[in-house]
Chain A
Amino acid sequence: MATVVPTALEMPEELQVVGAGEELPEQVTLWQDAWRRLTRNRMAVIGLFIIAIFVVTALVSFVWTPYPTWRQALGPTYQGPTLLHPFGLDDYGRDLLSRVMGGAAIALGVGVGASTLASTIGIVLGLVAGFYRGTIDWGISLLINISYGVPDLLIALILVVLIGRGIQNIILAISVTAWLGMARLVRGQTLALREREFVEAARSIGTKNLKILTRHILPNALGPIVVQATYLVPAAIIFEAFLSLLGLGIPPPAPSWGSMASEGYKALQIAPHIVLVPCLALSLTVLAFNWVGDGLRDAIDPRMRR
């Protein structure tokens, strides 16, 4: 027999709908509210704008760049900016504009990819540790604390050496350490949220644990998670650049900004533009993401709410 919703109970006449609700203010969800605050923050808007430019550039670079990013000897090596090559040429005579465009795709790919992967690991482990506590929490916390003691770079280097230098491997190598902060954050949030009354209320109406985690705890921790994930993007981009600078990043001839800078620094004195161009692009992207992260943090912070 099918289960049926308990049927209509006669509404007693003396219970009338209280009119006070009629004049609710215009509906705003918490996220709409946060978005409004974010767009009122000038630095965040500039940051969003810069990110948008880089995203468009990266997308365009898949189908079109002024010259192929790998073609050498387009003109004299070390040539400064000219009309044909507005950012100049590098030590192999490759077009820097094309390479910076291609680099944007790699940087954003690594940044967003690592941030997503690291966040996913961190969120899941953080939720589980904070919610179930006990032995599981003890194990995960121990793992986090031990990993914190080992330098990120060392772990990433070893991993890259072991599994190779493809873009997926780089993302993996970065995420292996980047999830720690996210896990800590989510664990803390979960520990606080699970004691909140609405979680108790959810249990009292027979909600299963998985639902409590996904419907009640996670959505309420999402604010700080989004902020943290945003900060993870520039951190991963820098990390990748650093690996490339050490010669352990994405292998040439892929135009990673890090490897472009590392190739250029040998000719710093005669052709500073080769270093300058990728470094500027890198700084601008990192700055933009940090501005947006700061803006999000202020927009979501409940202490700022009315």
Chain B
Amino acid sequence: MTALSILNLVPEPGRISGGQILFKNRDVVSMTSSELHEYRGGDVAMIFQDPMTSLNPVLRVGFQIEEAMRAHSRFDKRQAKARVIPLLERVRIPSPKQRARDFPFQFSGGMRQRAMIAMGLANEPSLLIADEPTTALDVTVQAQILELLKELNRELGTAIILISHNVAVISSLCTRVMVMYAGRIVESGPTRQVFEHPEHPYTWSLLRSVPRVDERRHERLISIQGMPPDLSRLPTGCTFHPRCQFKVERCLREEPPLEEVAADQEARCWVLMRNVSKESQAART
């Protein structure tokens, strides 16, 4: 949803009720519709979890990529046509000349995601928003897509916002991480720092709730009790307190602010994991 807001694509009847989204110092919320048009798909591109639903099943893949460019003014018709094959090549689609003439259903899941990425890159955006891009894919294909995204980030300098529930995928691709819970950022900072020293109990539990392939011995998983809250009836105080194992009395009354807890690291918590003794942390495992 945050990603949709960045694109100013919040579905009706929702709307962005306040605040600013600055992109290269322009406010996206107050853009006119023609400015928005250039911005979406031009400056910022988005790829989704399920590429099949975002590709038009009755149009050839090459044509759809060409169209993505024709919808914007960056490339003229000839350039657009000429760019299709190199783009498919760029995302490592084998024999791109033939493949450009295929329909989406002739592609495998991984290839469709590559085609989506090619379409996203068509207008040389400075930001790519990837919403769970590998969730529907097998691990070996996921590995390929992650490598591709890393490469694009390194070689084209495209900034990437990766939205994922998979902490390992975040660890693999992201330099910085923002942890969201019930519509709020509860922790943010450099990935390595946050993952090694999580300060918010939600981040801490999340990291210990998933089995790791690098697990040395069998440790019981931390299970976060209860369920995510109903966003229309948020709990008072800290929104995480009903599921939090380290809450204090204050958490029930006051919502903590997002504050700097270390260099570059911010967390929204009255307690902070550094203040929880190792013994009581262990008691929760």
Contacts and interface: CB of A to CB of B under 8 A. Distances in A.
Interface residues of B, number: 3
Contacts of A161: none
B227 interface: yes
Interface in A17-45: 18-20
Nearest to A18: B225
B226 interface: yes
Contacts of A19: 225-226
A20 B227 CA distance: 7
Nearest to A16: B225
Contacts of B226: 18-20
Interface in B188-233: 225-227
Main secondary structure of the interface of B (DSSP, over half): loop
B272 to A, nearest CB: 26
Nearest to B223: A18
Nearest to A20: B226
A20 B228 CA distance: 10
B236 to A, nearest CB: 15
A19 B226 CA distance: 7
Interface string A76-110: 00000000000000000000000000000000000
B227 to A, nearest CB: 5
Contacts of A20: 225-227
A156 B53 CA distance: 49
A18 B243 CA distance: 11
Contacts of A18: 225-226
A13 to B, nearest CB: 15
Interface in B56-112: none
A19 B243 CA distance: 10
B14 to A, nearest CB: 15
Contacts of B225: 18-20
B239 to A, nearest CB: 16
A129 to B, nearest CB: 31
A186 to B, nearest CB: 31
A306 to B, nearest CB: 13
A22 B49 CA distance: 33
A18 B223 CA distance: 11
A265 B199 CA distance: 88
B148 to A, nearest CB: 34
Contacts of B227: 20
A20 B225 CA distance: 8
A302 B227 CA distance: 25
Interface string A251-274: 000000000000000000000000
A19 B242 CA distance: 10
B106 to A, nearest CB: 26
A20 B226 CA distance: 5
Nearest to B243: A20
B223 to A, nearest CB: 9
A18 B227 CA distance: 10
Interface in A149-180: none
Interface string A129-154: 00000000000000000000000000
A18 B225 CA distance: 7
Interface string B165-179: 000000000000000
A243 to B, nearest CB: 48
A83 B95 CA distance: 89
A22 to B, nearest CB: 10
A150 B225 CA distance: 63
A25 to B, nearest CB: 9
A303 to B, nearest CB: 16
B222 to A, nearest CB: 14
B203 to A, nearest CB: 21
B127 to A, nearest CB: 33
A20 B229 CA distance: 10
B85 to A, nearest CB: 40
A63 to B, nearest CB: 54
A20 B230 CA distance: 12
Nearest to A22: B226
Interface string A5-22: 000000000000011100
A236 B13 CA distance: 44
For the complex of A and B, list the 4 residue pairs with the smallest distance between their C-beta atoms, beginning with the closest.
A20-B226, A20-B227, A18-B225, A19-B226
7 contacts: A18-B225, A18-B226, A19-B225, A19-B226, A20-B225, A20-B226, A20-B227
Interface of A: 18-20
